[in-house]
Amino acid sequence: MIKNFKSSRTHFATGDPISRSGGMHSTILNLAKEQSKLGHKVQIISEIGWIKQSQSSTLNLAEKVPDVLYHVNHFHFCYSMLQVVAIRPKLFLSSDLNVLHFHGPWFLESEVSNPDSKVRNEIKRILERISFSAIPNIVTASDSFAELLTSIYKIPDRKVHTIGLGVDTDKFTPATLQKKKGPLLRIGTVRRLVPRMGLENLIIAMKDLKDFELLIAGTGTLSEKLEKLITTLNLEDRVKLVGWVSEEEIVDFYRGLDLCVIPTVKLEGFCLTAMEAMSCGIPVLASNLEGLRESVGRYSKAMLFDADSPKAIVDAVKNRFWQADHHRFNLREYAIQNSWEKKNLELELYISNMVKR
C-alpha cells in the first residue's frame, strides 16, 4: 500500500543554506531522499520571501504535479508556514494535507540564548502559537517535545504525533579498522556553540580527565567565550574547537573518536549527533534530559549523566562502562533500528492515514 502511495511533498524550510545544514535541515534532506526512493515527487523550498520572492514562488508552488493522488505541504518551521498561509492561502487550503514538523520551541531556545530580548521572544512565542493552532497535523521527534506542545502551547493531543528522527546508516558506518589515535583517548561532539548545549561544562570537566583530549565541532555565538575558557583553564593542548565540519568530513570525525559526549543543559528534542555517532559504533554519554532519554537512554540508561554538572560528566567518563567491547556492535544494531528508512515509513503511514480521513 505504501509503495503505491504517490504524493508531491513540498518542504518549506528556513532560508539557511541547505548545504550547510544543522539538525533541522539534515532531517529535511534525509526525509526528502527517502521520499524520493518511494517514487514521490519532492520539492524543497529553502527560501520563502514575504514580498520579493513570493510572486515567482507562487507560480511554481501552485502547479499540481501530473498524475499524483495527493499533494502534501510538509512544513519544518512555523515562520515559513505563516508566510505561506499569508502569501499563498490558495496553496495552503487546496493541499490534501498540511503537516508541520516541530523541531523545537523557538521562543524557549531564544530565551536561553538571548534572555534580555523579551519583546522579540514574546513575538516568537505568539507566532508559534498561531502556527500550531492553524495547522491540523503536527509531527514531533520525541514524546518529551509532544508533551511540551500540549503543556506550553496548549495544543490538543489529537493534533500531535511522535515519530523519532532517524540516521543514515548507509553513510554513518563504523571504521573497517580500529586505528590507534594517539596516547590520549579522544572525546568529541558536534554541536552548535550556543548556551543550551552545555559545552562549558564539558570543557571544565576536561580539567579532571587528563587521559583524554576533546574535539568540539561546530560554530556559534559562544566560540570566543569557549576559546577564552580553554585558555583560562590551560587546556589548549587537549581541548580544540575545530569549527565547521563538512558533510564529507563528518563520518571520519566520528570514526576518529573513542567517545562522544552530549552535555546539553536545556531543550534537547532528540539529538541527531548521538544517533550518528552510535551508527559509527562510537559510544555516547549524554545528559539525562528530555529527548536524550529517548535516543541515548533507550539504548542504555547507564549512558546518561546528570545535566548541568561538570562532575557528573567526569564521573560518567571515568566509570568506563562505555568502553565495554560489546558496545561497538550493539550501538550499530540500535542505529539500524532507528534508520531514516524505518522512520520515513512511519511518517509515510501516518501521512497516508491522515489523507484518507
Could you read off the pLDDT of 93-134 as tens digits, one per residue?
A: 778 888 999 988 888 888 887 887 889 889 989 989 989 998
Rounded Cα–Cα distance for residues 206 and 220 (Å): 21
Tell me the pLDDT tens digit for each residue of 272-295: 999 999 999 999 999 999 889 999
190 compared with 6, residue with greater pLDDT:
190
- Is residue 348 a contact partner of residue 38, using CB atoms and an 8 Å limit? yes
Examine the pLDDT at 6 and tell me if it is beyond 50.
Answer: no
Q: Is residue 177 in a domain?
A: no
Rounded Cα–Cα distance for residues 105 and 100 (Å): 13
CATH code for position 22: 3.40.50.2000
Domain count, the chain: 2
Bridge partners (DSSP) listed for residue 102: 140
DSSP codes joined into one string, 143-192 = HHHHHHHHHTS---GGGEEE----B-TTTS---SS-----SSEEEEEE--
CB atoms within 10 A of CB 64: 9
Report which residue type is found at 275: M
- Helices H / strands E in the chain, number of each: 15, 12
Co-location of 75 and 157 in the same domain: yes
Q: Is residue 146 in a domain?
A: yes
Q: Which pLDDT belongs to residue 22? A: 65
Q: Which pLDDT belongs to residue 23? A: 74
Tell me the pLDDT tens digit for each residue of 234-272: 999 999 999 989 888 999 999 999 999 999 998 888 899
Confidence of residue 15 (pLDDT cuts 50, 70, 90): very low
Task: Map grid coordinates 523519532 to a residue.
Answer: 164
Q: Which pLDDT belongs to residue 282? A: 96
Co-location of 125 and 158 in the same domain: yes
Co-location of 117 and 203 in the same domain: no
* Domain coverage including residue 57: 7-166+339-356
Q: Is residue 108 in a domain?
A: yes
Co-location of 153 and 42 in the same domain: yes
Q: Is residue 145 in a domain?
A: yes
Q: Which three cell numbers stand for residue 151?
A: 503543556
Phi/psi of residue 339, each to 5°?
A: -75, 160
Co-location of 150 and 11 in the same domain: yes
Co-location of 201 and 318 in the same domain: yes
Co-location of 139 and 197 in the same domain: no
- Is residue 178 a contact partner of residue 332, using CB atoms and an 8 Å limit? no
- Is residue 168 a contact partner of residue 340, using CB atoms and an 8 Å limit? yes
Q: Which pLDDT belongs to residue 211? A: 94
Mean pLDDT of 292-320: 94
Helical (H) or strand (E) element with 106: helix 106-113
C-alpha separations of 153 from 39, 127, 204, 238 in Å: 36, 11, 35, 43
Q: Which pLDDT belongs to residue 30? A: 85
62 compared with 218, residue with greater pLDDT:
218
Strands 284-287 and 7-12: unpaired
Q: Which pLDDT belongs to residue 13? A: 42
83 compared with 292, residue with greater pLDDT:
292
Confidence of residue 181 (pLDDT cuts 50, 70, 90): low
Co-location of 159 and 302 in the same domain: no
- Is residue 307 a contact partner of residue 313, using CB atoms and an 8 Å limit? no
Examine the pLDDT at 338 and tell me if it is beyond 70.
Answer: yes
Lowest mean pLDDT among 177-186, 203-212, 317-326, 327-336: 177-186
Co-location of 292 and 201 in the same domain: yes
Q: Is residue 180 in a domain?
A: no
Q: Is residue 161 in a domain?
A: yes
Percent of the chain with pLDDT over 70: 85
The region that residue 154 occupies, defined by phi over 0 for left and psi between -120 and 50 for alpha, beta otherwise, is: left
Rounded Cα–Cα distance for residues 351 and 353 (Å): 5
35 compared with 22, residue with greater pLDDT:
35
Q: Is residue 208 in a domain?
A: yes
Q: Which pLDDT belongs to residue 48? A: 58
Co-location of 200 and 320 in the same domain: yes
Tell me the pLDDT tens digit for each residue of 55-64: 333 333 333 4
Mean pLDDT of 34-56: 64
| Predicted structure pTM score | 0.85
Q: Is residue 246 in a domain?
A: yes
Co-location of 278 and 204 in the same domain: yes
Co-location of 43 and 136 in the same domain: yes
Mean pLDDT for the chain overall: 84
